[in-house]
Amino acid sequence: MERYIGMDVHAGSCTLAVISEKGRKLKDFPVETNGQALVEAIRMIPGHKHLVMEEGLQSAWLYETLNPHVDELVVAGITTSRGPKSDKRDAYGLAEKLRVGNLDKHVFKAPRQFTRLRELSRAHMTLVGDVVRAQARIKSIYRSRGVLVTGVDVYSSRRRNEWLKQLPSTSQLRATRLYDHLDFLLEQKKRAEADLLREGKKHPIVKILESAPGFGPIRAARLVPIVITPHRFRTKRQFWSYCGLGIVTRSSSDWVQTAEGAWIKSRVPQTRGLSRQHNHFLKSIFKGAATTVVTQRNKDPIHARYERILDGGTKPSLAKLSLARMIAATVLRMWKNEEEYDPGRAGLLANTRKG
């Protein structure tokens, strides 16, 4: 006896809807968003239980809490809904999609793996973003008063008084408070980075991946808790799509009929772009690694491949994208084989492609 359960999750309550294997609606009821209450509600449902919920802020906690009590638990990607909407309708809709296998996107969850490293990585990324925002606010004060500001010298504590003197007295107090806020954030970021590096050293795979082109201990420590395991991806193209580096081609009105009545593919303009459903943090990591290779790793064989792409007439932005894809493929292979980066192997591949 199979039971498909859709759960619409909110901060205060969850709505559960149960349907049979033939699609008949059996019951629906609200439950407090509380671990013990949800477990008891799930246990009261007889048969083999298949539970589905949408990805959200609480999905990792709910997955960890409810997974031992069901036969299958699926976290679905959020999709836009049109027409009438309610918690009950959404829950039944999720259950029906799970029953017929019509869920658009499954979200991978492994909350018990790399837990501490994941939390420290999130803290570090949050503080990095806060520092950038604080710096932007400081620059905006100077620009609003017609003071030309470039580079990072304006944030330095040594020349801070010289910069403040260029502002009217009415703006100096505000700028001083923002400088104090920036100093606090920089200290917190420094501590978060130390915590992240300390935790990263406890995982051998982080040590391996930091040898990848354009990588280091910070990027490796941020990558691992996001991907969890490389075996989620059978090919590098699947990994590229997940990282936002997969190329998507779009076309329409592809077929035309000849005078003889046969159908042939027409030469229609094709729009090319990158996959939009992706992990934005991973895309940032690999594009940052590509920037590092371009600006700092001139002796790396993978940089020579980048130079050849440029020499072939490719735009620098597209060449950089190709470089990011190379690095992502290299990291995936290193992780699967648990081997450090071998520049000689990269050079061999480059010479093979050149020939």
Based on the fold, state whether residues 192 and 221 are members of the same structural domain: no
Which CATH number goes with the domain that contains 33? 3.30.420.40
Based on the fold, state whether residues 163 and 232 are members of the same structural domain: no
Q: What angle do CA 223, 224, 227 make, to 5 degrees?
A: 85
CA distance 284 to 132: 15
pLDDT recorded at residue 233? 93
Based on the fold, state whether residues 136 and 231 are members of the same structural domain: no
Q: Report, as an integer, the average pLDDT of 269-282.
A: 79
Give 196's pLDDT tier (boundaries 50, 70, 90). Answer: very high
Looking at 100, 126, 150, the residue that finishes a domain is 100
> Mean pLDDT over all residues of the chain?
90
Looking at 68, 100, 132, the residue that finishes a domain is 100
- Please give the tally of structural domains in the chain: 3
Give 275's pLDDT tier (boundaries 50, 70, 90). Answer: confident
End-to-end Cα, the chain, rounded Å: 60
Predicted confidence (pLDDT) at residue 267 exceeds the cutoff of 80: no
- Bigger pLDDT: 320 or 251? 320
Q: What angle do CA 321, 325, 327 make, to 5 degrees?
A: 115
Residue 146 resides in a domain? yes
**Which residues, other chains included, contact 27 with Cβ-Cβ below 8 Å and sequence gap of 6+?**
17, 18
CA distance 210 to 225: 14
Based on the fold, state whether residues 238 and 336 are members of the same structural domain: yes
CA distances 218 to 63, 189, 229, Å, are 28, 12, 18
State pLDDT tens for residues 204-254.
999 999 999 999 999 999 999 999 999 999 999 999 999 999 888 777 778
Residue 15 resides in a domain? yes
CA distance 67 to 48: 13
Let me know how long the chain is: 355
Residue 261 resides in a domain? no
Based on the fold, state whether residues 63 and 10 are members of the same structural domain: yes
Based on the fold, state whether residues 196 and 122 are members of the same structural domain: yes
Based on the fold, state whether residues 9 and 125 are members of the same structural domain: no
Based on the fold, state whether residues 244 and 318 are members of the same structural domain: yes
State pLDDT tens for residues 86-142.
999 999 999 999 999 988 888 888 888 899 999 999 999 999 999 999 999 999 999
Residue 264 resides in a domain? no
Predicted confidence (pLDDT) at residue 355 exceeds the cutoff of 50: no
Tokens (6 digits) for 260: 């003889």
Residue 145 resides in a domain? yes
Residue 330 resides in a domain? yes
Looking at 202, 237, 261, the residue that finishes a domain is 202
Q: Which amino acid is at 95?
A: A
Beta bridge partners, 28, equal 17
Based on the fold, state whether residues 127 and 156 are members of the same structural domain: yes
Q: β-strands 48-54, 2-9: how paired?
A: parallel
Residue 59 resides in a domain? yes
Give 144's pLDDT tier (boundaries 50, 70, 90). Answer: very high
pLDDT recorded at residue 353? 46
DSSP state of 232: G
Q: What angle do CA 130, 136, 142 make, to 5 degrees?
A: 145
Based on the fold, state whether residues 284 and 340 are members of the same structural domain: yes
Give 278's pLDDT tier (boundaries 50, 70, 90). Answer: confident
pLDDT recorded at residue 352? 44
Scored b (16 or more CB within 10 A) or e, 39-61 reads eebbeebeeebbbbbbbeeebbe
For 111, the 3-state DSSP assignment is coil
Predicted confidence (pLDDT) at residue 271 exceeds the cutoff of 70: no
Query: Are 109 and 61 a contacting pair, CB within 8 Å?
Result: no
Predicted confidence (pLDDT) at residue 85 exceeds the cutoff of 50: yes
pLDDT recorded at residue 269? 66
CA distance 116 to 59: 18
Residue 335 resides in a domain? yes
Predicted confidence (pLDDT) at residue 347 exceeds the cutoff of 60: no
Closest CA to 121 of 199, 222, 227, 189: 222
- Bigger pLDDT: 242 or 269? 242
Scored b (16 or more CB within 10 A) or e, 190-206 reads eebbebbbebbeebebb
pTM (whole model) above 0.85? no
Based on the fold, state whether residues 128 and 65 are members of the same structural domain: no
Based on the fold, state whether residues 225 and 348 are members of the same structural domain: yes
Predicted confidence (pLDDT) at residue 273 exceeds the cutoff of 60: yes
State pLDDT tens for residues 70-82.
999 999 987 777 7
CA distances 348 to 303, 320, 354, Å, are 13, 21, 10
State pLDDT tens for residues 168-187.
998 999 999 999 999 999 99
Tokens (6 digits) for 344: 């000689």
Least confident span in 5-9, 30-34, 122-126, 346-350: 346-350
Residue ranges making up the domain that contains 9: 2-100
Predicted confidence (pLDDT) at residue 261 exceeds the cutoff of 90: no
